[in-house]
Amino acid sequence: MAFDACQRGKDACALKLVWFNDASAMEEQQDKQEKSSRRGIQSVEIAYRLLRVLQNSAQAVPLKDIALGADLTPSAANNYLVSLVRTGLATPDDRAGYYKLGPSALALGMSAIRQIDGFDLLRREVTRLRDETSRSTAVTMWTDDGVLSLFKQDGDLRGAFEMRTGLIPLTSTAAGKVFVACLPLSVTQPFSAEELNEQAHAKTDPAAFHEEAVRELERKKYATLHRADMSGYASIAAPIFDFTGQLRFAISLVGSRTTLQTERGSPHVTALLESAARATVALGGTT
């Protein structure tokens, strides 16, 4: 009897071992399948390359240019376009051999716009920029009452000034200069005129300030401001555009003359411009 009990114990152990090996084999197989699935479907990615060529053009594109832009032969590009036309993602133009985005692409774009949570997107971008630079960061927008700071993250180094949410100056912040440069003078002039009149050291008028901001943004793609007071305040800001090409927000880095790099090509400026570009693309705009 003792022998039978021992044998039964060995059999049970053997069964458990078989089950364990089978389970391990199944897990390994599932892991391989998951890794294989993560490689994606190449044909989908190739089709997207064609759609990107169409997306980047303001008019219908000939087949040979689509193929060149997607790094395909014309015959291969034509095969993909047949399926894209069937699904409505592309549509033939009136000119033979020319194609443009179709109604399904438009529907997808409109749905993507509705699903964008702009504030959440910008909040993440502000936090990321602060983490990359260790400098105070903020995002602002234009309102009927002027420039409104929506969200901020304080940096590791704090100056004599305090960042805040709410309305901020138009003519003494880099974010304000971005809106002055991008909005019509008639929109910003009432605010800039009032602020400049209150500044004893101001040596410019709203029109001249507008022209200076426009030239700087065109030249550098970002705005810079150094205050002349004892605070040492310095800031840089870049515009964020939406899918209509209109200015929606400005993202800023704030520090002092000694802690904030404001020169073109510097790490702080590079991080700022990359952040603005990411946010613009996420809102459907083009950089």
DSSP 110-166: HHHHHH--HHHHHHHHHHHHHHHH-SEEEEEEEETTEEEEEEEE--SS--SS---SE
Per-residue confidence (pLDDT) for residue 21, from 0 to 100: 52
pLDDT for 200: 60
> Residues 153-180: pLDDT tens digits?
999 876 556 667 789 999 999 999 999 9
pLDDT of 1-43, one tens digit each?
A: 444 444 554 454 444 444 445 545 555 555 555 554 456 788 8
Most confident of 166-170, 180-184, 202-206: 180-184
Section 224-251 average pLDDT:
89
* pLDDT at residue 158 in the model: 64
> Is the alpha carbon torsion for 274, 275, 280, 282 positive or negative?
positive
Q: How far apart are CA 150 and CA 166, in angstroms?
A: 7
Q: Give the integer Cα–Cα distance in Å for 275 and 9.
A: 65
What pTM, to 2 d.p., does this model score?
A: 0.64
CB 170 within 8 A of CB 180: yes
Q: What is the pLDDT of residue 189?
A: 94
Burial 232-247 (b: 16+ CB within 10 A, else e): bbbbbbbbbbbbeeeb
Q: What is the pLDDT of residues 260-278, one digit of tens each?
A: 999 999 999 999 999 999 9
**Cβ(246)–Cβ(269) under 8 Å?**
no
pLDDT at position 31, please? 55
Among residues 255, 262, 253, which one has the least CA distance to residue 233? Answer: 255
How far is it, in rounded angstroms, from Cα 184 to Cα 202?
A: 21
Q: What is the pLDDT of residue 118?
A: 67
From 88-102, 108-122, 142-156, the region with the lowest mean pLDDT: 108-122
166 neighbors 284 (Cβ within 8 angstroms): no
User: What does the pLDDT average to over 87-110?
Assistant: 90
Binned at pLDDT 50, 70 and 90, residue 228 comes out as confident
User: Could you give the angle at the alpha carbon of 72 between the alpha carbons of 68 and 73, nearest 5°?
Assistant: 95
- pLDDT classification of 202: cutoffs 50, 70, 90: low
SS3 content of the chain, % helix, strand, coil (to 5): 55, 20, 30
- One-letter amino acid of 253: L
167 within 8 A of 148, measured Cβ to Cβ:
yes
pLDDT confidence band for 120 (50 / 70 / 90): confident
The amino acid that residue 176 corresponds to is G
The pLDDT of residue 86: 94
Report which of 185, 145, 189 is spatially closest to residue 168, judged by C-alpha positions.
Answer: 145
Sign of the alpha-carbon dihedral angle for 271, 275, 281, 285: negative
Q: What percent of the chain has pLDDT over 90?
A: 60
Residue 111 pLDDT: 73
